[in-house]
Chains A and B, each alone.
Chain A
Amino acid sequence: MKKMNRVLTILAGLAFVIALSFGSAGPVHAQTINGAGASFPYPVYSQWAYKYNQITGVQLNYQSIGSGGGIRQIKAKTVDFGASDAPLKKADLDEFGMIQFPMIMGGVVPVVHIKGIKPGELKLTPDVLVDLFLGKITKWNDPAIQALNPGLSIPEKDVTIVHRSDGSGTTWIITHYLTAVSSEWQEKVGASKAVSWPAGVGGKGNEGVASYVQRIDGSIGYVEFAYALQNNLTYIQLQNRAGKYVSPTKESFMAAAANADWQHAPGFYMVLVNQPGEESWPITGASFIILYKDQTNKETAAAILKFFDWCYQHGKEIALNLDYVPMPDNVIEIVQNVWAEEVQHNGKSLWK
């Protein structure tokens, strides 16, 4: 049912974009905002855009072409805003006179396929997870795994790693997590949207990884939170920074989000992994919007800020329905302070 909702959302978004491209379909005085970038938040952005259009008549044209494409397009000034699953460094933003802010959060869930193991049964620590992805643990009945799961009978099966073959924000988040918990991972592999994986096979997109995991007995992969939830994949319990085992649920994601210290993140460059808190799921990330500080078109710029403000204030339910995690109120306040200070037209602030 949830999946159905998401499909419908995407269809509605598509129909909306098509209607836009013919121009005549919208209201007469329609203001149009153009954006491009990350595909991970596309379902929620298009749903927001659809609702917002019904209320205000303002049209959002969002091209889900990938974060890399979004950054390239905003740099070339062909769109009004860019969207990226990975934050840009403060220095990069300053070079182009841009700001970024977090719009929506999600996370990544390791999923396994081991005969006889049900969702949420298998417990892993960060160290064991790293050793699995490094290819150091090659059998599922390895003593290190059995010691963590005394009640489970785990078969002697070869471990197959399934990773993303395409560059993606999902990979960015999980490799940053592995880097945060292991210096060996940091040295040997590192963190990026695509890395040189020590072992395993690559599937294209969440659906590619999910189908390989379901296909290959003894496999472990990682997918977006929403994707794991909607497809009933065999997720694991992971030990968090506080030493507690947590399952990937909306609550554990919100807990991680609430504990993040955005106030002290310059340029909102924040890697949300391994957050403190007893309830926090450790592999989370935010998706970002990128804007120019100096806006040339006053009306468009004001419309953009108004739209994102509406999403922050009134878009929470839509986001939760689609299994995303909305930004907490204290973070919204910090973001809007930055808008007021930095986003300008002819030296005048566009947000009060």
Chain B
Amino acid sequence: MVNPRKNRRYQHNKGDLFFKGLALLCAASVPLLMAGILAQLISSSSLSLKEFGFGFLTSQEWNPVTEVFGALSSTFGTIVSTLIAMIIAVPLGLVIAVFLVELAPPKISAFFGGAVELLAAIPSIIYGMWGLFIFAPIMADHVQPFLDKYFGFLPLFQGAKMGIGMLTAGLILALMILPYISSVSRDVFNMVPTVVKEAAYGQGATTWEVTRAVVLRYSLRGIVGAAFLGLGRALGETMAVTFVIGNSHRISASLFASSNSIASTLANEFTEAVEPLYLSSLVELGLVLFLITVGFQSMAQVWLWSIRKKLAD
């Protein structure tokens, strides 16, 4: 006879092992998937990698007729539209979070907090259509003439006021990433220990001083995390941008001008691309986006790590 207790323990161990293996498998699937995507992108774009080499990244040309392709205008559009979105959404998101956590009464805070999170639930196609039919006319009739009147001496705000283009795309993106930044920041602010804040208030600090010196400093890591969450979404956003950016393969100093992004170029041209080199160049564009995203995320990790180290010192 086998000892029943021993037997049970044996089974218990087997279950543990099984669970451990399963968990490992699940965890390993993420890097495996990433590596698989990267390998697939590289192999599918081999034709254009061979044809254009490094010049692909620096060429502005995008001509499906002569089959000469370069990623510069799309890359430029992706980065600039994301930059506009970040410049607007990060400060705004932080201010909203501060209001929700530090200033608003609990009921109002819950209401506004819910409203902001609702923004995140709107599908991007809705942002795109709203952007094209409602927001673009407002831009053309009010915002762009205003900018032209007061800041028209800058090359940034010159040219035809069509309501679509880089600036509109950046603003729509800002709106789309705002809920991510503000709701993550709000959660981070909520984690600041009340004792620390009360100690500061006890020393006679104003709300602004407490926010700046205690809350923001304490939550710096979380804020950076929130910002990069938004950044990741802005870089890859496709539908909304395609609707309002104007989709032309040109680099222009003016934010009023139509432009394009990597994601919008893919959305526009992938379905009808038949020629192998054309298709391969589109895949390589995807590879560039992949590398940009991974690059930014790694930068964020390194930065977080250095902040953590500084705080520990």
The answer on A and B forming one complex is yes
B160 touches A158 (CB 8 A): yes
- Name, among A165, A196, A201, the residue most crowded by chain B CB atoms within 10 Å (CB to CB): A165
B274 touches A215 (CB 8 A): no
Task: State whether A193 and B246 are in contact (beta carbons under 8 Å apart), knowing that A166-B269, A212-B164, A215-B137 are contacts in the complex.
Answer: no
Q: Is the contact region of chain B dominated by helix, strand, or loop, or is it mixed?
A: loop
B61: A residues at CB distance < 8 A: 196
B268 touches A160 (CB 8 A): no
A197 to B247, CA, bound (A): 11
A194: B residues at CB distance < 8 A: 64, 268-269, 272-273
- Residue on A with the closest CB to B132? A211
Q: Which of A62-94 contact B (CB under 8 A)?
A: 65-69, 71-72
**B180 interface hit (Cβ, 8 Å):** no
Q: Which of B118-146 contact A (CB under 8 A)?
A: 132-133, 136-137, 140
**A216 interface hit (Cβ, 8 Å):** yes
A276: B residues at CB distance < 8 A: none
- Residue on A with the closest CB to B161? A216
Chain A: number of interface residues, binned into ranges:
20 to 34
**B93 interface hit (Cβ, 8 Å):** no
B63 touches A166 (CB 8 A): no
B248 touches A201 (CB 8 A): yes
Task: State whether A215 and B140 are in contact (beta carbons under 8 Å apart), knowing that A197-B248, A201-B246, A202-B248 are contacts in the complex.
Answer: yes
**A208 interface hit (Cβ, 8 Å):** yes
A65: B residues at CB distance < 8 A: 271
Task: State whether A201 and B162 are in contact (beta carbons under 8 Å apart), knowing that A165-B242, A166-B272 are contacts in the complex.
Answer: yes
B74: A residues at CB distance < 8 A: none
**A167 interface hit (Cβ, 8 Å):** yes
**B65 interface hit (Cβ, 8 Å):** yes
B63: A residues at CB distance < 8 A: 195-196
A65 to B273, CA, bound (A): 12
A195 touches B247 (CB 8 A): no
B65 touches A192 (CB 8 A): yes
Partner of B269, one of A160, A167, A191, A203: A167
**B243 interface hit (Cβ, 8 Å):** yes
B247 touches A215 (CB 8 A): no
Task: State whether A203 and B162 are in contact (beta carbons under 8 Å apart), knowing that A68-B271, A68-B272, A215-B140 are contacts in the complex.
Answer: no
Q: Which of B231-281 contact A (CB under 8 A)?
A: 242-243, 246-249, 258, 260, 264, 267-274
Q: Which of B137-163 contact A (CB under 8 A)?
A: 137, 140, 160, 162-163
**B66 interface hit (Cβ, 8 Å):** yes
Task: State whether A66 and B247 are in contact (beta carbons under 8 Å apart), knowing that A189-B65, A192-B65, A195-B65 are contacts in the complex.
Answer: no
A165: B residues at CB distance < 8 A: 242, 247-248, 260, 264, 268
B242: A residues at CB distance < 8 A: 165, 204
**B228 interface hit (Cβ, 8 Å):** no
**B62 interface hit (Cβ, 8 Å):** yes
Known: A71-B274, A203-B247, A215-B164. 11 other contacts (CB 8 A): A67-B274, A165-B264, A166-B271, A192-B65, A193-B64, A193-B272, A196-B249, A215-B162, A215-B163, A216-B162, A216-B163
Q: List 24 A-B contacts (CB under 8 A).
A: A65-B271, A66-B272, A67-B272, A68-B272, A160-B160, A165-B247, A167-B64, A190-B65, A193-B272, A201-B164, A201-B165, A201-B247, A201-B248, A202-B247, A202-B248, A202-B260, A202-B268, A204-B242, A204-B247, A208-B243, A211-B133, A212-B162, A215-B137, A216-B163
Spell out B's residues near A (CB within 8 Å).
61-66, 132-133, 136-137, 140, 160, 162-165, 242-243, 246-249, 258, 260, 264, 267-274
Which 4 pairs between the two chains have the least Cβ-Cβ distance? A167-B272, A66-B271, A165-B247, A202-B247
